[in-house]
Amino acid sequence: TRPNIAVIGAGLAGLSCARHLQDAGCRVTVFDKARGPGGRMSTRRGDDWQCDHGAQYFTVRDNRFRDEVARWETAGVAALWEPRLAVLEADGSVARKAPDSTARFVGLPRMSAPAGWLAANLRVHSGYTIVDMQHDRAGWRLHSKEHGVHDDRYDAVVLAIPAPQATVLLQPLLPLTARQTVTDMLPCWTLMLRYRTPGIRFAPGYDAAFVNHGPLGWIARDGSKPGRQGSETWVLQATAGWSAQHLEDDSDSVIAALLAAFAALGAPPPDEVTAHRWRYARAGGQQDNGQAIQQNHVDEDGESAVLREAIWLPAVRVGVCGDWLAGGRVEDAWLSGRTLAAQVLASMACAASS
């Protein structure tokens, strides 16, 4: 019989894992607490506007991900973004970033599009926050906040959620030490600005900028990405340090502080603003040079495994994947899910291997 596998989390890691498992012949059901798939690779949409408020773009280093992005391009759900990039320094200088060899991709027509494409052939249950998982002889049973205990039994469960949330679900089950599962995840306060008044625009001569002073770390004109429609929109992201310091502030005071910093760059006040607080935005150990954070050592019942990019516990048939296990980016999330799927398939002898 086909293994029946539950995947918790419909971000890139969970969707990548689920697709590889399903393509290899497993029965797969994906659960996510949000309204739709995508996780942090996401887009906020209003009446006549949209804005990528999580991941801003993604890069490609690994050939396996290169092939996947080519499939997304062919399907029309991703495209190159070639912004005019700047670096803004404290002395007010604006350095134009020289065209580099980095290819930056975005979802088309919005960041969440590749996730929607990956989810299209999967059974995805949205609006299910998994709060508990229990094992008996028939398999794993999941308990969601919204719908109570689920009747179905699963042969294996994949956790494709940020480290702090995975730890909450895993801790009652397994004597994992903090080092094995807890990775610092850094927060990010984000603003989405709309300009609707005719003639009022911020046109600084760049489309996006790394900001090296004050509370802001990154600003970008969403409409400079391919295929975007609707009102003129800018996204502002605070630095991790500032966001951590102001994590519990109310959104009005955060909006005031970040708009002041944006005005200091010469931007006119927007007509509308929405704030979003990412409590777990980026993995703390992430490095921009593409190195993985660390290797993960898992000891369970004396069984020892050294795994990279994902954790698979064969004795209990629970797997963990996510960007935080592999480097902290969109690419890492996809690779982590793929690596875990291969481990699950090897361990459970599915029909075919991925």
Give yes or no for residue 8 binding ligand FAD (CB under 6 A): yes
Min separation Cβ 17 and ligand FAD, Å? 9
Could you tell me the two tokens for 345? 């398939």
Residue bearing tokens 């960007």:
323
Q: Could you say whether residue 109 binds ligand FAD (CB under 6 A)?
A: no
Q: Is residue 222 at the binding interface for ligand FAD, with CB under 6 A as the rule?
A: no
Do the beta carbons of residue 31 and residue 58 sit within 8 Å?
Answer: no
Task: Establish if 234 lies at the interface with ligand FAD (CB under 6 A).
Answer: no
330 binds ligand FAD (CB under 6 A): yes
Q: How are beta strands 272-283 and 123-126 bridged, if at all?
A: unpaired
Among residues 50, 112, 165, 233, the one that binds ligand FAD under rule CB under 6 A: 165
Using the rule CB under 6 A, which residue among 262, 278, 312, 340 binds ligand FAD?
Answer: 278
Handedness of CA 72, 17, 167, 132 (dihedral sign): positive
Which of 158/350 has CB closer to ligand FAD?
158
- Contacting range for ligand FAD; rule: CB under 6 A; set: 28-36, 60-68, 150-158, 238-246: 28-36
Contact between 266 and 276 (Cβ < 8 Å)? no
Q: CB-side exposure of 268: number of CA atoms within 13 Å? A: 15
CA distance linking residue 225 with residue 227, whole number of Å? 7
If one asks whether residue 105 binds ligand FAD (CB under 6 A), the answer comes out as no
Return d(Cα 119, Cα 58) in angstroms, integer.
19
| Bridge partners of residue 70, in order along the sequence | none
Least spacing, CB of residue 115 vs ligand FAD, in Å: 8
Q: Which of 19, 43, 44, 58 binds ligand FAD (CB under 6 A)?
A: 58
C-alpha to C-alpha distance for 177 and 165, rounded to whole angstroms: 15
Alpha-carbon gap, residue 77 to 95, rounded angstroms: 32
Closest to ligand FAD by CB, 130 vs 267, is 130
Shorter beta-carbon distance to ligand FAD: residue 125 or 268:
125
Q: Which residues, in sequence order, are bridge partners of residue 140?
A: 135, 154
Q: Does 107 sit near ligand FAD (CB under 6 A)?
A: no
Binding flag, residue 130, ligand FAD (CB under 6 A) = yes
In the complex, the residues that contact ligand FAD under the rule CB under 6 A are: 8-14, 31-34, 39-41, 54-58, 128-130, 160-162, 165, 188, 190, 237, 278, 281-282, 322-323, 328-330, 333
